[in-house]
């Protein structure tokens, strides 16, 4: 199975977790997914001061700047597998 296929499978597994992961885990998943699919965050698209949720997501993604697509995919897959192990699937 290719890395892209593993990544796609992990993205599907996230939707089948028994329970919602913690906010920190969700931010990590978001940041790794965006880095793997879009690349580095564009500072021009930074959310406004009052958009706290958007700002937190953007900052988490920005912290992954410079991470290659492949490394982000591998980290995302590992994170999903650890969540599956701790939370389980439906």
Given this model, what pLDDT does residue 87 score?
Answer: 95
Asked whether the beta carbons of 29 and 76 are under 8 A apart, the reply is yes
Q: What is the mean pLDDT of each run of 10 residues along the chain (90 residues)?
A: 97 95 97 97 93 96 97 98 94
User: What is the rounded distance in angstroms from the CA atom of residue 60 to the CA atom of residue 45?
Assistant: 14
Predicted confidence at residue 58, as pLDDT, reads 96
User: For position 52, what pLDDT does the model report?
Assistant: 95
Single pTM value for the model: 0.94
**How much is the pLDDT for 41?**
96
Give CATH for domain 3-87.
1.20.80.10
Which residues does 18 contact at the CB level (< 8 Å), separation at least 6?
87, 88, 89, 90
The pLDDT assigned to 84 comes to 96
């Amino acid at each position: 199975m290719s890395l892209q296929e593993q990544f796609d499978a992990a993205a599907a597994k996230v939707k089948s977790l028994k329970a919602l992961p913690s906010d920190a885990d969700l931010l990590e998943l978001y940041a790794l997914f965006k880095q793997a699919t879009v690349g580095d965050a564009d500072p021009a698209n930074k959310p406004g001061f009052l958009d706290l949720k958007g700002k937190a997501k953007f900052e988490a993604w920005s912290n992954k700047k410079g991470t290659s697509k492949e490394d982000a995919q591998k980290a995302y897959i590992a994170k999903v597998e650890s969540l599956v192990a701790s939370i389980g699937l439906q």
